[in-house]
A and B are shown apart, each in its own frame.
Chain A
Amino acid sequence: MGDVLSALFTLLVFPGFGFLFFCALVFQWIDRQVAARLQGRIGPPWFQPLADFIKLMAKEDVLPAGAHQRACAALPMVSLAAVLTAALVIPINNHATSVFEGDLIVALFLLSLPALAYFLAGWLSASVFSVVGGSRALLQYFAYEVPFLMALGGPAILCGSWSISRIAAQQSQTVWMIVVQPVGFLLAFVGLIGKLKRSPFDIPKAKSEIGAGPLTEFSGRKLALWNLSLDMKTVVSIFLLVNVFLGGSLTPFAVPAALIFGVKALLILLALSVTGVLYARLRIDQLAILGWRGLAPLALVQTLIVILMGV
Chain B
Amino acid sequence: MNRMTIPIGPQHPALKEPLSFLLTVEGERIVEGALRIGYVHRGLERIFQNRNYIQNVHVVERVCGICSHIHTTAYCQGVEALLGLEIPPRALCLRTLLCELERIHSHLLWLGVLAEHIGFTTIFMYAWRDREIVLDIMEELSGGRVAHAVNVIGGVRIDLDQERVQSILTRLDELEQQIETFLGVIEHERTFQVRTRGVGHLSAEQVRRYCVVGPVARASGVDVDLRRDAPYAAYAGLDFRVITAEEGDVWARTMVRTLEVVESLRICRQLLRGLPGGPLSVRAARRVPPGEVVSRCEAPRGELIYYIRSDGSDRPARIKIRTPTLTTLITLPDQLRGVNTADVPTVLSGVDLCIACADR
Direct contact of A and B (CB under 8 A): yes
Residue A283, interface by CB 8 Å: yes
0 or 1 for each of B1-37: is its CB under 8 Å from A? (1 = yes): 0001011000001100000000000001000000000
Task: Find the A residue at minimum CB distance from B193.
Answer: A280
C-alpha spacing A298/B115, complex, angstroms: 31
Q: Are B126 and A39 in contact (CB under 8 A)?
A: yes
Kindly provide the distance from the CB of A194 to the nearest chain B CB, expressed in whole angstroms. 14
Q: Are B191 and A282 in contact (CB under 8 A)?
A: yes
Residue numbers in B under 8 Å from A52 (CB-CB) = none
Kindly provide the distance from the CB of B197 to the nearest chain A CB, expressed in whole angstroms. 12
Residue numbers in B under 8 Å from A199 (CB-CB) = 119, 121
C-alpha spacing A242/B314, complex, angstroms: 77
Residue A285, interface by CB 8 Å: yes
Residue B285, interface by CB 8 Å: no
Residue B319, interface by CB 8 Å: no
Q: Are B342 and A283 in contact (CB under 8 A)?
A: yes
Kindly provide the distance from the CB of A243 to the nearest chain B CB, expressed in whole angstroms. 31
Q: Are B195 and A207 in contact (CB under 8 A)?
A: no
Q: Are B191 and A200 in contact (CB under 8 A)?
A: yes
Q: Are B344 and A209 in contact (CB under 8 A)?
A: yes
Q: Are B6 and A128 in contact (CB under 8 A)?
A: yes
Q: A39 and B191 in contact (CB under 8 A), knowing A132-B341, A206-B342?
A: no
Residue A307, interface by CB 8 Å: no
Residue numbers in A under 8 Å from B129 (CB-CB) = 40
0 or 1 for each of A1-19: is its CB under 8 Å from B? (1 = yes): 0000000000000000000
Residue A284, interface by CB 8 Å: yes
C-alpha spacing A128/B24, complex, angstroms: 13
Interface residues of A in 254-302 (CB under 8 A from B): 277-286
Interface size on B, residues (CB 8 A): 29
Kindly provide the distance from the CB of B172 to the nearest chain A CB, expressed in whole angstroms. 20
C-alpha spacing A207/B120, complex, angstroms: 12
Residue numbers in B under 8 Å from A277 (CB-CB) = 121-122
Partner of A39, one of B13, B119, B122: B122
Task: Find the A residue at minimum CB distance from B14.
Answer: A208
Residue B142, interface by CB 8 Å: no
Interface residues of B in 165-222 (CB under 8 A from A): 189, 191-192, 194-195
C-alpha spacing A286/B125, complex, angstroms: 25
Kindly provide the distance from the CB of B27 to the nearest chain A CB, expressed in whole angstroms. 10
Residue B118, interface by CB 8 Å: yes
Q: Are A40 and B119 in contact (CB under 8 A)?
A: no
Q: Are A280 and B13 in contact (CB under 8 A)?
A: no
C-alpha spacing A206/B121, complex, angstroms: 12
Task: Find the B residue at minimum CB distance from A212.
Answer: B13
Partner of A283, one of B4, B117, B340: B340
C-alpha spacing A151/B351, complex, angstroms: 43
C-alpha spacing A206/B12, complex, angstroms: 12
Partner of A38, one of B115, B122, B194: B122
Kindly provide the distance from the CB of B190 to the nearest chain A CB, expressed in whole angstroms. 8
Residue numbers in B under 8 Å from A200 (CB-CB) = 119, 191
Residue numbers in A under 8 Å from B7 (CB-CB) = 128
C-alpha spacing A191/B175, complex, angstroms: 38
Task: Find the A residue at minimum CB distance from B25.
Answer: A132
Residue A202, interface by CB 8 Å: yes
Kindly provide the distance from the CB of A31 to the nearest chain B CB, expressed in whole angstroms. 13
Q: A206 and B119 in contact (CB under 8 A), knowing A128-B4, A280-B192, A282-B194?
A: yes
Kindly provide the distance from the CB of A212 to the nearest chain B CB, expressed in whole angstroms. 9
C-alpha spacing A283/B197, complex, angstroms: 13
Q: Are A283 and B195 in contact (CB under 8 A)?
A: yes
Q: A39 and B116 in contact (CB under 8 A), knowing A206-B342, A280-B192?
A: no
Q: Are B125 and A39 in contact (CB under 8 A)?
A: yes
Residue B343, interface by CB 8 Å: yes
Q: Are B122 and A281 in contact (CB under 8 A)?
A: no
Residue A211, interface by CB 8 Å: yes
Partner of B120, one of A38, A209, A279, A284: A279
Interface residues of B in 115-164 (CB under 8 A from A): 115-123, 125-126, 129
Residue numbers in A under 8 Å from B125 (CB-CB) = 39-41
Residue numbers in A under 8 Å from B116 (CB-CB) = 208
Q: A280 and B191 in contact (CB under 8 A), knowing A40-B126, A128-B6, A207-B13?
A: yes
Residue numbers in B under 8 Å from A38 (CB-CB) = 122
Residue numbers in A under 8 Å from B333 (CB-CB) = none
Q: Are B341 and A202 in contact (CB under 8 A)?
A: no
Residue B345, interface by CB 8 Å: yes
C-alpha spacing A38/B115, complex, angstroms: 16
Interface residues of B in 92-118 (CB under 8 A from A): 115-118
- What are the nearest 4 A-B pairs in CB distance? A281-B119, A280-B120, A39-B125, A280-B191
Please give 11 more A-B residue pairs, beta carbons under 8 A apart, in addition to A41-B125, A203-B342, A209-B342: A39-B122, A40-B125, A132-B341, A208-B13, A208-B116, A279-B120, A280-B192, A281-B120, A282-B191, A283-B343, A284-B342
